[in-house]
Chain A
Amino acid sequence: VCTSRFWFNYRHVANTLSVYRSVKRLGIPDSHIVLMLADDMACNPRNPKPATVFSHKNMELNVYGDDVEVDYRSYEVTVENFLRVLTGRIPPSTPRSKRLLSDDRSNILIYMTGHGGNGFLKFQDSEEITNVELADAFEQMWQKRRYNELLFIIDTCQGASMYERFYSPNIMALASSQVGEDSLSHQPDLGIGVHLMDRYTFYVLEFLEEIHPASQTNMNDLFQVCPKSLCVSTPGHRTDLFQRDPQNVLITDFFGSVRKVEITAETLSLDRDVPGLESKLPEEELATEPLKYAEQLPVAQIIHQKPKQKDWHPPGGFILGLWALIIMVFFKTYGIKHMKHVF
């Protein structure tokens, strides 16, 4: 969820889109992601590179592209919509892509970024969500069995105040700064003119880039990301509501969609009619190489030119009729005697 709009909050959109991309890279499909953005960066008239949102200086990584599916855009990102998505109290006409279709076996990752303060998070410059509301929303989710485990990451100023009030079990929370501290942004890009990322998210992403679907990195490593020397603010985390030990919680439990696969050595005959056929051993799928950010299509290739087609031709009858008329008029005015000379 990115709760800011306007051009100078470019970095919040870039944050959110970068996390979105990591999560997609690690296997979670769009149908399982609810992305809420103001979405006014790519087509902003102040954007010197239209249709792009860059997350790294020198414009190396375009995190906007053809396959970004924004579920709640622009003025739909409101506190009400956010809480409705979480609690499931949505009007029946809402499409599936805008619903959080989770059940009691789902692990949910919630990433929020924007401008915040002590106990509140500002939505779209016009309203706020308080930590009490958020905690109550999570309690509703727990009572309706809408999650198994929930990871809440927030990258705003005084972010730790947002998770102070949680009281539902199985919630782990991370924040980019403590109460009384501001989260700072990372480098500005002089070509685009705004800051491209926030520090905490930048280092989280650096950390996530090393994760691939089969990695065994656990939550404790995530807690170490972005120490005060790099981040200037002190990131905080809260694990008291979580039942498992963070040491045993894999990053991919929340960030990726990893299927649990078992290898069996015994043959299973699936078809009675063909007894001689041995089924192949199911193999565990391993990502052979981690996908890197840099391996994406440059924008110039994405915007391609359609070739000019000239498929329409005037019908023959029309051309014949028109020129017959013209010739008739010509000979009517200048006399038939010229026809002798023409032929």
Chain B
Amino acid sequence: MAAPLVLVVLAAVTVRAALYRSSLAAFIAERVEVASPLNAWKRVVEGLALLDLGVSPYSGAIFHETPLIIYLFHFLIEYAELVFMITDVLTAVALYLAIQDFNKVVFKKQKLLIELDKYAPDVAELIQTPMEMHYIPLKVALFYLLNPYTVMSCVAKSTCAINNSVIAFFILATIKGSAFLSAVFLALATYQSLYPLTLFAPALLYLLQRQFIPVKLKSKSFWLYTMQYASLYLCSLVVIICLSFFLLNSWDFIPSVYGFILSVPDLTPNIGLFWYFFAEMFEHFSLFFVCVFQINVFFYTIPLAIKLKEHPVFFLFVQLAIISIFKSYPTVGDVALYMAFLPVWSHLYRFLRNIFILSCVLIFCSFLFPVLWHLWIYAGSANSNFYYAITLTFNIGQILLISDYFYAFLRREYYLTHGLHLTRQDGTEAMLVLK
């Protein structure tokens, strides 16, 4: 498997290098869908330039990166393109290894459940075989590296690539089962952008499953392990934040990074839902609605945890998608990360109901974004409503995609335990409906 992966990596690096040298690089770098105020490269350069002039980069409202990024790019700023290409490659390799391990876990579990006779007799066609799953890790790496969203993010040198990379390493560490590393990477991911906090729940569930600790609220071992993991996570987070204090000897970065993410002061249009609402809102409502919108991101964790506690990796995927849809400054790089996981659930294809129309919606909206931006900003014949409409449609497409996969997953699980041909009480054929 190594050789095709190397080939894919080479192809991806070539595409990115070619784009860096072309004139498209400047055009892509300034697109709002790719570069948000949180992760634009221009702002990183600006912050570092301010630092060279002796001013704290957090003093204005320009720079919203964490001190570790300052440290990283202080030395690597001349090699920025290489750094971003290597980051993408590392992400893809991490995802590849993670999914490889995950496949092994899936097989083991499947074998266990078959031996325990938990599956209905006629579900042979639903069971995943090694043959069809052989290429999934490669497909995941392919999906991530050659996704136009990722390529654009890389060419724009948006630090979203670094966020994705940290999350990918976190996923790798979790699936390999190392609680310590997983806690460390999760702390790093949370430190970078606040939202991976919600990934704590799926990671915990996965690690519990791996340790064969059942998730019961009364179980002592459950709470013990949870406490261990939580304390590892919190300690590493605290250590990283304190370390960042020593970079500039000030706590300025906390309001600049986390305050900025949570209070959303910058209303530059992006592919998310926040900017339009808050541009139209009265001042005295904005605090309330900011709280509502932010709670919306964190809100789905607990219900999903209850529903998907047997399937933590799928929960992870759904949670990642929810983060990238509902976060305050999403970019297409975030979308690319969860889209990389779609091959893992390619066996759900037969249960997906709207996949054609949703993929059309997503592709179409991606093409319409620059068109309507041009019409709004340059031609002046449209206004922000047009662009927001496309944003809304894109997000609706994403949400429907996720809920479609969710439905398909649950349906397959139901069929596995209850058999493919469902019958009602009186023997006629029944249909499964998601309520």
Contact = CB atoms under 8 A, between A and B. Distances in A.
A315 B54 contact: no
B180 A333 contact: yes
A325 B243 contact: yes
B156 to A, nearest CB: 23
A20 B385 CA distance: 51
B54 A312 contact: yes
A333 B74 contact: no
A315 B246 contact: yes
Contact of B243 (A310, A312, A321): A321
A314 B181 contact: no
B51 interface: yes
Q: Which of A311, A313, A314, A317 has the most CB of B within 10 A?
A: A314
A146 B243 CA distance: 69
Contacts of B249: 315
B413 interface: no
Contact of B181 (A311, A312, A318, A329): A329
A329 B184 contact: yes
Contacts of B246: 315, 317-318, 321
Nearest to A326: B184
Interface string A290-321: 00000000000000000011111111011101
Interface residues of B, number: 17
A311 B48 CA distance: 11
Interface in B155-183: 178, 180-181
Contact of B54 (A311, A313, A317, A332): A311
Nearest to B74: A314
A318 B178 CA distance: 27
Interface string A189-228: 0000000000000000000000000000000000000000
A317 B70 CA distance: 15
A199 B168 CA distance: 72
A318 B243 contact: yes
Contacts of B363: none
Given A314-B71, A314-B247, A318-B247, A333 B52 contact: no
A259 to B, nearest CB: 45
A318 B54 contact: no
A180 B184 CA distance: 86
B293 to A, nearest CB: 34
Contact of A309 (B53, B74, B178, B180): B53
Contacts of B52: 308-312
Nearest to B181: A333
Contacts of B371: none
A308 B51 CA distance: 12
Interface string A91-115: 0000000000000000000000000
Interface of B: 51-54, 68, 70-71, 74, 178, 180-181, 184, 239, 243, 246-247, 249
Interchain residue pairs A-B with the least CB separation, the first 5: A312-B51, A318-B246, A318-B247, A321-B243, A333-B181
